[in-house]
Amino acid sequence: MEAPGASDVNAYPTLTIRLQDGQLHLVDPLDVLKECVIFIVFPNSRSANLPIAISLAQSTTVYGEQKVGGRTMHWAGVTSALEDLKRGAELLRLAGSWKGTMTQINGEFVSDPFNAYLTISCYLQGRQCASQAAHCHRVIDDPFHQNFDMFTQTVKIDTTYRPNLGDVVVVATDHVKQYIFPCKRMLEQSLFHSQFKFEQAHRAAPQDRIQAAAVEYGINICPFFDSSKFREVGAREVEVVLPMKMAGSPGLEMKNGPRCQGEGSLNGTRDGYGRRR
């Protein structure tokens, strides 16, 4: 005996596709995938958003529906055209988490459709900007520094020294390297993935580790993503307060505190009230 719905599944694998010109065509689903950057399949749902999702799907470049096991499945193919991507992103937001929904982006199945929606939305914002770098890139402190804080992307230097009343102190300067990080979305995502961090001893290049993390986070689908943009761009000055007896310490090495990198230069002394002398 033939299982219920088997005739639907085993039918000739063609879809009725409605193109934007309103014409109807029968095409092979595999051909649809070749033309689209996003391909979404979602079932009828009890969600109140189903009519909106169907309307969005019907407004994309290609749309079709087919009975599978007695259940209606809706298909939407989205191209890289700006308005089409906007519809595709909203469709991901509405139907991406429904049971039975499947999503492919650039021919690869996506396990986290909502994260893909966030990435595509970020990309769409970038397309509206005059400068891609202004949208995507962020300047961060030296991520290899032992006091680098991933949450703020800055190096925090705390000498643990607190001057007492009447102490004579000097104010020295240290220089913290700064880098261009190529993806602000990845920095935001990294806050929730503490396992990702820069490791000085790692044999892979920093750019390759950024690219590998982007694959893990699903950010590599963004056309703007380019890990090769990670590079050193300069340094910023940091004030360090020291007791006078430590002013000549090599490399500004502090007792019971972190070692600051770079050469320190005296730029004044202060008394215990913090006033310059």
Residues 123-176: pLDDT tens digits?
999 999 999 999 999 999 988 888 887 777 888 776 556 667 766 667 777 788
Residues of the chain with pLDDT under 50: 1-20, 246-277
pTM of the model: 0.69
In the structure encoding, which two tokens stand for residue 68, read together?
Answer: 């599978």
3-class DSSP state of 52: helix
Give the residue carrying structure tokens 């030296």.
142
Question: Where are the chain's structural domains?
Answer: 8-127, 138-270
118-123: list long-range contacts, CB under 8 Å, 24+ apart.
118/185, 119/185, 119/218, 119/219, 119/221, 119/222, 120/38, 120/85, 120/88, 120/89, 120/92, 120/221, 120/222, 121/89, 122/184, 122/185, 122/222, 123/85, 123/222, 123/223, 123/224
